Structure 1
Amino acid sequence: MYSSLKSPSQLTRWKSSGGDPCGDSWEGIKCSGSSVTEINLSGLGLTGSMGYQLSSLTSVTRFDLSSNNLKGDIPYQLPPNAVNIDLSQNDFTGGVPYSISQMTDLQYLKLGHNQLKNQLSDMFGKLSKLKELDLSYNSLSGNLPQSFKSLSSLKKLNLENNQFSGPINVLVDLPLTDLNVENNQFTGWIPKELENINLETGGNSWSSGAAPPPPPGAKHHANRHPTNNGDGKSVKGGVAIAGIAMGVLVVIGVIITLFSRRKSSPSSNFLDEEMISQRRSFSPLASQELSQDLRADITKGFKELKSLDRCASVDIKSLQKSPSIGPKHSPYDLKRSYDENEFANRLNARRSTSLRATSYSLPDLQLATVNFATGRLLGEGSIGRVYRAKYADGKVLAVKKIDSSLFQGARSAEFAEIVSNISKLHHPNFAELVGYCSEQGHNMLIYEYFRNGSLHEFLHMSDDYSKPLTWNTRVRIALGTARAVEYLHEVCSPSLLHKNIKSSNILLDTELNPHLSDCGLATFHQRTSQNLGVGYNAPECTKPSAYTLKSDVYSFGVVMLELLTGRMPLDSSKPRPEQCLVRWATPQLHDIDALGKMVDPALRGLYPPKSLSRFADIIALCVQSEPEFRPPMSEVVQALVRLVQRSSINMRDDLGDSRRMDDYDY
């Protein structure tokens, strides 16, 4: 943080490395024992940016950098247990970071008087303790998110001098005492429920006249008439919130939504296991899946993350003080051998999660895979083969049989650590570990099985009539995968490399949501001397040890290129200048005409041109040859979320650029 702030002299006693913030009484730091609990650097004339890795400040409850000259985006990660955050009166740009959605202790959030923009994500569902929210004097736009309804402790809300639009009905049931919504683009009627609070509403486009009564069955809120005095000052006359016209629109919207979902819900949307094996034609075509609106399609992608538990660090004591997830042992561990019971005991002793990985016996797995028959082989990678295990009760699992040569002797002890560490990784876009087997020299990891296979199969091994990947689906796959990598890089502590991001490691469930596999197996890739993924490796990766977080970002950019073009990273069947996807595509990513020619023909032109261009811009950032210029994954996630938000905002503009307006979702 000190370095990002350009090592200012006003931060007396601070050091860029070493030192004791508590014992040495650093400027603006308060402690409890040896834990930093407050960082108050308000009004010190600081410049630069805030830096990253602020999620390590787990004891900080007050974080105040207000009234400085700080620039850049607000970091995705902030002190996770903060009660009071004040970043007001700076020059911050970008959006409000989504990680705030997980800060359940937050009571005061002040981001006013900056240069923030974009829409607010639906990030407030868990912030029931928030008492004061100040977003004033920015350039935030769009409707107020529905999750504002969850702010059950909110007393003071400042939204003035932004570009918010739509109604403010979402605020009616909050315990507000002060509300300022002046100088925005709000419309509709001012709810009666807000009549007796300190209310500032001037400079908007409120509806005049009496509000019609609410539709039948709707929650009734008494009407009030506006007393628009025309001077842009406080309006405290009565106006109501719902109307017959709005009610009719809602009913029509519900009917359309239900009809659309009925059209898109049959099992033909999903790939059946037998369909894959028999290569039957698959319906619907790209143009037939368009009944699913993108905003509904990936709402869950940037609402609250379903299970974003903080990634537990490796237990330092149980892993002989290893600083990383890679296994390290004492000489005593290396000499011992373990039977199955001892293995299970070691595994359970290392676990710090309530989810237990199930122990599977070797005979059971042999039976379920027909003794690992070739016909059950799902794929083969650099660390082993993956087989489909099918049980009598219909349960199907994927079994990764790891090459025993990778353990170099200390198999059971080392494998226990690996299973323990992988079991700590939980994210809705991961392929979750469900079990393990370590018997008779065999070491296997058991995962949930995805009948739809991998993204690689969808993009490169299906004919044109069996691809259900519309543009919307491709954006959703990119966003979900980016969130998974972001979790490894910026939520886990210490950060974890994936080192093998490629389309064949992105598995698709029945709704075509992505699940990143091979998470937590970087220790194996560190040992393999072969290329870690032909066509996916960043230029700096001349050997496995050269891999960094930014190398993962590059590999993810290549996957995005696959989604955009439908091409493989390396394809010797193409003309020589087009064989390397990155080399061929990169010079064209900012050329609108060239971009239209390189997009996957399987899309049949059914995509919003502006959305395609923004998608290409993100790719260009990720696949830059210099790693220091590639963005962190949190910024990639935010850019993809902004792509979705802007596309939905500018729906008509995007559709207007196209010949077939009816074929678009947004």
Structure 2
Amino acid sequence: MFKYLNYPSQLSGWKANGGDPCGDSWEGIGCSGSSVTEIKLSNYGLSGQLGYELSNMKSVQSFVLSKNSLSGEIPYQLPPNTIHIDLSNNGFTGTVPYSISQMTGLQDLDVSHNQLNGELSDMFGSLSKLNSMDLSFNQLKGNLPLSFTNLTSLTSLHLENNKLTGSINVLRALPLNELNVENNRFTGWIPDELKDINNLQTGGNSWSTVPAPPPPPGVHHHSHNEDEQKSAEGGLKSAVSVVIIGATCLGVLLVVALLIALISRRKSSPSSHFLDEEMGDQHKGLTSGKTQEFSTELYKGISEDEKDHKQVDSTTSTAIKSLQRAPSMGLKTSPSGRVSFSDNEFASHLIVSRSTSVRAVHYSLADLQSATAYFATGRLLGVGSIGRVYRAKYEDGKILAVKKIDSSLFNGRRPDEFSDIVASISKFNHPNMAGLVGYCSEQGQNMLIYEYYRNGSLHDFLHKSHDFSKPLTWNTRVRIALGTARAIAYLHEVCSPPLIHKNIKSSNILLDAELNPHLSDYGLANFHERTSQNLGVGYNAPECTDPSAYTQKSDVYSFGVVMLELLTGRMPLDSNKPKSEQCLVRWATPQLHDIDALGRMVDPALCGLYPTKAVSRFADIIALCVQVEPGTRPPTSQVVRELLLLVQHTSMQMKEELSSSRRTEDSDY
């Protein structure tokens, strides 16, 4: 951290090597015994960045570096057990790091007055202790994530002066007493539940001017003013009300007595017992360690009417019959054939095996057959080592990618192994990973449904020429490498337990409309026989001939080959090349530190439009990744750090070159 802050002299006691932050009383450091528990460096005039090894600081609870001149992205891994984070009033770019989703004890988060951009990930589901969050004065965009509904302790929220869009309905049930959403691009209506907040600021948005739609059946929202009005009008009516209420209560008591007698007589009724057991399971699920996030996700995709029907009319014979028809908790299937993930017997195994929310949705086989034209050849997107991927198109225009896993791979496996895989994949959520949307397990067929990325795979973009395609610019190539490295680092160093991908290759890196990378095929290593034959040819690390030797460093090697593809535009193995050039790694490795040779290796499609020093640094990172010995390859977090430094240095170099060219033009005159 001291190194990345450029060794600031104002931090008295700090040393670049060695020393004891606690025993030697380092500036801004608080300790408990020999453990660093506080880093408070607000308004110290610090510059530079924070470094990328902060996750080792497991005892830090307060991490405060506000009012400095720090730049670059907020590290994707912060001290994991932090309670208070304040990085406000700096020059940070990028977005809110996803590792915050793991900080279940976090109470205060302030990253206001920076230059953060991009969309907020759906990463707030486990932050039930967060009571104050300030994201104001940035350039954040997109809708508020649904997981905001899980911020059940949040009392203060500042989102002003961003570019956020959509509605703010996800905030309606939060215990807020301070809310500022000014100067965004929010639309819709301000929920009635928020209008009584003492400190509410909503100006500078595009709120609807037409009356809000009525609330769901059975729900009546009223304002504080309405309460006062009703209280003022109650004088004359109070006596009449007392009489009416008394008569009503008497009637209710008589009805309740009759119901109790009736229920006691029917206590042993099979249908009543089934209903009680079913409803009891729901309550047990909410009180036996299941989080509120789980209960929210359980009802995702169900209309308000259906919820009310379950809660209010569940004692009717109609509800009992619906429960008896299928063990689906009485929830209806949508016209598209999709149902909640927890609405079938297959899903019950996943619910038991996980404590976090399940976001995947069950798709019926008939639904997928219709959307893929019965898995027609014309809908085939690609063929992988474990199955085929098809494009599914729906009438509303939505497009998904359906991975149909080869049924032979399930021979000799446990019946519930596929549900284990879906449960595992559902846990992963990273902006540079292909998002799992749903699954299907019917009639011996097992499928995974992913988001569809319109620009296909990196392999197709690099190696399959089309008349209408445009070559990737140098900056885009670096961005693809950085995003992919982040996804791998998330699997290796954020997930618990860590996950090895085992099949990293350019065809498993998908590009969205803005050419951002999304790593796919993660969590499916159990289907590979873990031999070199089943991995992408040309991406295998030397040790992969021995399946037991496969480690995270083998993933790093495969990623190094992907970076070589980005650098050279060549395929990992190409039989059309001269024999000495057919294997990309063997051909390229000896030349990675030769400046002249490196210039000849760069993809001709770039037409020389790249910064020379940046290419050299990129080649240095590749050389580290494709080392023969696994132990000499860097961890993925170091690769991320080096790529970030490359981006920083490239930006500085471009500014210097621009300044130099301007001086040359001036001298010509």
TM-score range, shorter chain: 0.5 to 0.7
- Report how far residue 82 of structure 1 moved: 2.6
- Report how far residue 544 of structure 1 moved: 3.2
- 1:359-411 Cα distance to aligned partner (Å, 9 max, x none): 11112212222221222111111111111112222221111111122223445
Which residue in 2 is equivalent to 1:516?
Answer: 519
In 2: Cα distance, 1:565 partner to 1:656 partner: 30
- Report how far residue 103 of structure 1 moved: 6.8
Which residue in 2 is equivalent to 1:417?
Answer: 420
Alignment length, in residue pairs?
397
Q: Establish whether residue 598 from structure 1 lines up as the match of residue 601 from structure 2.
A: yes
Partner SS, residue 392 of structure 2:
strand
Which residue in 2 is equivalent to 1:190?
Answer: none
Work out which of the residue numbers 63, 79, 82 in structure 1 matches 2:60: 82
Q: Which runs of 5+ in 2 are unaligned?
A: 1-18, 25-34, 40-50, 66-71, 101-105, 117-131, 139-288, 291-341
Letter in 1 for 2:346: F
Letter in 2 for 1:100: L
Q: Establish whether residue 388 from structure 1 lines up as the match of residue 391 from structure 2.
A: yes
- Report how far residue 497 of structure 1 moved: 0.3
- 1:482-510 Cα distance to aligned partner (Å, 9 max, x none): 00000000000111000000000000000
Q: Establish whether residue 549 from structure 1 lines up as the match of residue 552 from structure 2.
A: yes
Give matches, 1:52-451, under 5 Å: 62=37, 75-79=53-57, 82-84=60-62, 98-100=76-78, 105-106=83-84, 146=115, 341-410=344-413, 412-451=415-454
- 1:434-463 Cα distance to aligned partner (Å, 9 max, x none): 111111111111111111100000000024
8 Å contact kept, 1:482–1:637: yes
8 Å contact kept, 1:362–1:439: yes
In 2: Cα distance, 1:611 partner to 1:464 partner: 29
Give matches, 1:618-637, under 5 Å: 618-637=621-640
Which residue in 2 is equivalent to 1:487?
Answer: 490
Partner SS, residue 395 of structure 2:
coil
Letter in 1 for 2:558: S
Q: Establish whether residue 560 from structure 1 lines up as the match of residue 538 from structure 2.
A: no
Letter in 1 for 2:83: D
CA RMSD of aligned residues (A): 4.4
8 Å contact kept, 1:399–1:444: yes
8 Å contact kept, 1:480–1:514: yes
8 Å contact kept, 2:531–2:544: no
8 Å contact kept, 1:569–1:580: yes
Give matches, 1:461-540, under 5 Å: 461-463=464-466, 466-526=469-529, 530-540=533-543
More helix by share: 2
Q: Which runs of 5+ in 1 are unaligned?
A: 1-39, 46-59, 65-72, 88-93, 110-118, 132-143, 148-152, 154-168, 171-315, 318-338
Using a 3 Å threshold, how does the CA distance of structure 1 residues 360 and 80 change in structure 2: closer, same or farther? farther
Letter in 2 for 1:82: V
Give matches, 1:13-32, under 5 Å: none
Which residue in 1 is equivalent to 2:119?
Answer: none
In 2: Cα distance, 1:391 partner to 1:597 partner: 47
Partner SS, residue 484 of structure 2:
helix
Which residue in 2 is equivalent to 1:455?
Answer: 458
Which shifted more, 414-423 or 365-374?
A: 365-374
In 1: Cα distance, 2:557 partner to 2:362 partner: 36
In 2: Cα distance, 1:596 partner to 1:583 partner: 17
In 2: Cα distance, 1:100 partner to 1:577 partner: 45
Letter in 2 for 1:417: D
8 Å contact kept, 1:400–1:445: yes
Partner SS, residue 597 of structure 2:
helix
In 1: Cα distance, 2:420 partner to 2:20 partner: 42
- Report how far residue 523 of structure 1 moved: 1.4
- Report how far residue 350 of structure 1 moved: 2.4
In 2: Cα distance, 1:405 partner to 1:361 partner: 21
Letter in 1 for 2:429: H
- Report how far residue 530 of structure 1 moved: 2.6
8 Å contact kept, 2:73–2:93: no
- 1:281-327 Cα distance to aligned partner (Å, 9 max, x none): xxxxxxxxxxxxxxxxxxxxxxxxxxxxxxxxxxx99xxxxxxxxxx
- 1:615-652 Cα distance to aligned partner (Å, 9 max, x none): 11111111111111111000100111111111112224
In 1: Cα distance, 2:540 partner to 2:660 partner: 36
- 1:215-255 Cα distance to aligned partner (Å, 9 max, x none): xxxxxxxxxxxxxxxxxxxxxxxxxxxxxxxxxxxxxxxxx
Which residue in 2 is equivalent to 1:572?
Answer: 575
8 Å contact kept, 1:98–1:121: no
In 2: Cα distance, 1:429 partner to 1:122 partner: 13
Partner SS, residue 543 of structure 2:
coil
8 Å contact kept, 2:457–2:510: yes
- Report how far residue 529 of structure 1 moved: 7.1
- Report how far residue 78 of structure 1 moved: 2.8
Partner SS, residue 371 of structure 1:
coil
- Report how far residue 106 of structure 1 moved: 3.8
Partner SS, residue 437 of structure 1:
strand
8 Å contact kept, 1:340–1:439: no
- 1:194-225 Cα distance to aligned partner (Å, 9 max, x none): xxxxxxxxxxxxxxxxxxxxxxxxxxxxxxxx
In 2: Cα distance, 1:411 partner to 1:382 partner: 21
Partner SS, residue 365 of structure 1:
helix
Partner SS, residue 418 of structure 1:
helix
Using a 3 Å threshold, how does the CA distance of structure 1 residues 389 and 145 change in structure 2: closer, same or farther? closer
Partner SS, residue 359 of structure 2:
coil
- Report how far residue 128 of structure 1 moved: 9.4
8 Å contact kept, 1:618–1:639: yes
In 2: Cα distance, 1:657 partner to 1:575 partner: 42
Partner SS, residue 402 of structure 2:
strand
Using a 3 Å threshold, how does the CA distance of structure 1 residues 448 and 85 change in structure 2: closer, same or farther? closer
Using a 3 Å threshold, how does the CA distance of structure 1 residues 409 and 501 change in structure 2: closer, same or farther? same
- 1:319-370 Cα distance to aligned partner (Å, 9 max, x none): xxxxxxxxxxxxxxxxxxxx99321211222233334211111122122222
Structure 1's consecutive aligned runs of 4 or more residues displaced over 3 angstroms after TM superposition are 40-45, 84-87, 94-98, 101-104, 106-109, 119-131, 144-147, 409-412, 526-529, 652-659
Partner SS, residue 613 of structure 2:
helix
- Report how far residue 515 of structure 1 moved: 0.4
Work out which of the residue numbers 609, 612, 626 in structure 1 matches 2:612: 609
Partner SS, residue 77 of structure 1:
helix
In 2: Cα distance, 1:96 partner to 1:446 partner: 32
- Report how far residue 85 of structure 1 moved: 6.8
- 1:12-70 Cα distance to aligned partner (Å, 9 max, x none): xxxxxxxxxxxxxxxxxxxxxxxxxxxx965679xxxxxxxxxxxxxx88279xxxxxx
- Report how far residue 656 of structure 1 moved: 8.3
Give matches, 1:651-666, under 5 Å: 651-654=654-657
Partner SS, residue 520 of structure 1:
coil
Letter in 2 for 1:407: F
- Decide which structure has the larger Cα Rg and report it: 2
8 Å contact kept, 1:467–1:602: no
8 Å contact kept, 2:573–2:583: yes
In 1: Cα distance, 2:380 partner to 2:477 partner: 27
In 2: Cα distance, 1:104 partner to 1:438 partner: 41
